Structure formats: structure tokens, C-alpha cells
Amino acid sequence: MSATRSRLTTLSAFLSVALIAASAACVPTGPTVDEYRAKSPTLAKADRERVLRIGVQDQLPLMSEHDQATDKWTGFEVQIATLLAHQLGFTRPESYQFIRLTTEKRISALQSGEVHLVVADFTVTDERRKLVRFAGPYFLTTPEIMIRRTDQDKIKTIDQLKQVKVCTTGGSTSAEVLTKYGVPHSLLAKGAECAEGVRNGTYDAHCTDDVAIAGRVHRFPEFAKVDMPFSDTEPLGVGLPLDDPYLEGLVAHYLKKQLDLGDRSQWQAAYDANLQVVLGPKQQPPLFPGYPVLRDHDDDQRR
């Protein structure tokens, strides 16, 4: 009995030594937020310039609008962009800037370095992924049609749409959808120009995503939305420079943190304050798979 006991004790003693040695080896080695923040070339540039420049649209009701009189930016996308600027370390109002971008300029502005990131109703597509990076989605939309309220009986189907003058923005996914369904259309630089064209009769319909239409219909009662059977769901993502996987990982990390917070998130607060009134209750969509899992200071507090 005592020999057996002694063997067990010896085995336990050496196993204990091995266990302590092994425990030192099993340390997680994943990248940290701090490492990605330090490695991002885009953020290094913004740090040197002491300002983070964010590309946004400026006449998209409830999404992003600029009030000339007060010089204030408002809207869902503005709040998401502000949240990201803060999380990336640009916490003071003087340390980040909103830059107006037309739909067509979103990619070239990122490529030229005019802006560091884009939060401007920017749909993620495979073609665009060849030119810029995306973190997201932070919102899901579908392409729809906006017409004059007085024309509600005239334009109800895609066939009827093909008979009228349709406008959309150049370089947009809405233009691709119209082409796919064989709808002739004109291309303008900004959605606001299309909306003005519909108002003054230059055009009969404006094709864009449902969230942009919902904002305009809410703001301007002369417009109405038509539910067309376009089946495509469009994910909106934060546009980022192609050469910066670190910024992509960071933005995805902060969007994931919002997702984890659920109803308590700033995303939800931004949605409820701006879009819920026109789109009803919604929750933040899940992120695309494949983003790196970054270790952060609040990891042991998050669930």
C-alpha cells in the first residue's frame, strides 16, 4: 500500500511540475487592438495630420445631413462615423472631420487619401472589394423606387418603370440593378439631384436604397415609395483603403462590440433616434465572416 502511495505521490509531483510548466506555455497569442492601431498606415497618416477625415454624404435625410446654419452634422451614418472616430482615438470634435462625397467619388477619395474612411450609404460588392476594403455590414438595405405621390397609380411595376424617365446616381449599385432589370436610366452625381429632378418633373422616378428613400419620403411629403420586386439585399459597409487590413480589422472589431452590446449599443441608439420612425424596429445585422478576433482591454467584461 505504501509503495503504491509513494508511486502515486511521485507521479503527482512530477505531473504537477509538468503542469506548471505547460500552463506557462498556453497563453493566447492573438493580435491585440493596440497592435492593429499601431500598425494601421491610414491611422498613422491621420495621426500625423492630427485629423481623421471621414467621407459622408450630405443630403441624405435621416442618414447624413449637414445644417449650413449651425454647421452641424446629423443622421444615422453620422452617428456611426462619430462612434468609429471616437473608438479609433479621435475623441475631440477638432480631431475628426466630415468630408462631403458624391456617390461616384467614394472610391477615388479613398484611393487618393482624400479621406481615411467612408461611411456614405456604401454598398459592399465583390467588384468594389477589388478597389477598396469594407468592414461591416452596419446596415442592410434593398433597392426601391421613389416617385411623386401624384404618380402612385401610374408606376407600380417594373414594366411601367421602363416606360418613364428614371434617374439614379453614377457608380451606385442601384444603377447596376436597373441595368440588370433592363430599365433605361440617367446617371447623376448625387441622390439629392435625382430627388430634385423628380420634384420638378425632369424625371419620374429615382432608384436608390430603401433607407435613402424612407428618409426623403419622411422629410418631403410630395414623394412616395414604390415597392418594386427587386430581390437584392444590399449590405452597407464602412469603406477603407485597400492597403490597410489593420484598419479593416479595427472597424470590424468596434462594430462587433456594438453587436455584442445588443439593445444597449450606440448603434441601436443611433438607429432608434434616426431611422426607426420610418423603418420600424430593427437590430444591427451580423458582420461578414472572416474578420480577425482582436484582444482588447475589456475582453473579460464583454459577453
Partner 1 sequence: MTTERDNTGFWTVAIGAPVLLSVLRLWIEAGGELQTTLLLVEHVDPINLVAALVATGSWLVSAMFVAALAIGGMLGASGETAARAWLARWAEQAPSWVKLGSFVIAAFTWQLIYLPLLLLALCAAYQLTPRRVWVALVCLALYGVVIGQTLVEAFRLPDPSTRAMAVLLLAGPAVLAVFIAGPLRPRAVRPFAIGAPLLGVAMLLWAALPLVTTPVLPLTVTVIGGPEDSVEYVRGHVITTDDVHMVVLEESGQVRYIDNDLIEAQDLCPTSQEIPRYRLRFLFPGVEPVSLEHSVLSGLGQANRGSTPGSPACRSRTR
Q: Smallest distance, Å, CB 141 to partner 1?
A: 28
Nearer to partner 1, 38 or 277 (CB): 38
Q: Which of 114, 227, 260, 299 binds partner 1 (CB under 8 A)?
A: 299
Using alpha carbons, select from 114, 122, 88, 133 the residue that is nearest to residue 240.
133
Q: Smallest distance, Å, CB 11 to partner 1?
A: 7
Q: How many chain residues touch partner 1 (CB under 8 A)?
A: 54
Q: Give CA–CA dist 80/85, Å, rounded.
A: 9
Residue 6 binding partner 1, by CB under 8 A: yes
Q: Smallest distance, Å, CB 20 to partner 1?
A: 7
- Per-residue mark of binding to partner 1, 76-115 (x: CB under 8 A): ----------xxxxxxx-xx--------------------
Nearer to partner 1, 27 or 150 (CB): 27
Find the angle CA(234)-CA(239)-CA(241) to the nearest 5 degrees: 145
Q: Smallest distance, Å, CB 166 to partner 1?
A: 44
Nearer to partner 1, 23 or 70 (CB): 23
Specify the DSSP element, H or E, that contains 93.
none
Q: Coil, strand or helix: which one is 255?
A: helix
Nearer to partner 1, 42 or 57 (CB): 42
Q: What's 139's DSSP letter?
A: E
Nearer to partner 1, 92 or 130 (CB): 92
Nearer to partner 1, 83 or 101 (CB): 83
Residues of span 34-73 touching partner 1 by CB under 8 A: 34, 37-38, 43-44, 47-48, 50-51
Q: Is-contact 163 169, C-beta < 8 A? A: no
Q: Which of 13, 157, 184, 282 binds partner 1 (CB under 8 A)?
A: 13
Q: Smallest distance, Å, CB 67 to partner 1?
A: 20
Using alpha carbons, select from 124, 110, 122 the residue that is nearest to residue 212.
122
Name residue, grid cell 510548466: 21
Residue 22 binding partner 1, by CB under 8 A: yes
> In terms of C-beta density within 10 A (0-12 exposed, 13-18 middle, 19 or more buried), how is residue 301 classed?
exposed
Q: Give CA–CA dist 54/117, Å, rounded.
A: 5
Q: Smallest distance, Å, CB 253 to partner 1?
A: 11
Q: Give CA–CA dist 118/104, Å, rounded.
A: 12
Residue 130 binding partner 1, by CB under 8 A: no
Residue 20 binding partner 1, by CB under 8 A: yes
Q: Which of 14, 154, 222, 282 binds partner 1 (CB under 8 A)?
A: 14
Q: What's 285's DSSP letter?
A: P
Tell me whether the omega of the peptide bond preceding residue 93 falls within 30 degrees of 0, making it cis: no
Residue 70: CB atoms within 10 A of its CB come to 8
Task: Look at the alpha carbons of 240, 243, 249, 250 in this order and tell me if their dihedral is positive or negative.
Answer: negative
Residue 302 binding partner 1, by CB under 8 A: yes
Residue 260 binding partner 1, by CB under 8 A: no
Q: Left if phi > 0, otherwise alpha if psi is -120 to 50, otherwise beta: which for 170?
A: beta
Q: Coil, strand or helix: which one is 225?
A: strand
Nearer to partner 1, 12 or 112 (CB): 12
The binding site for partner 1 (CB under 8 A) comprises 2, 5-17, 19-24, 26-30, 32-34, 37-38, 43-44, 47-48, 50-51, 86-92, 94-95, 293, 295-302
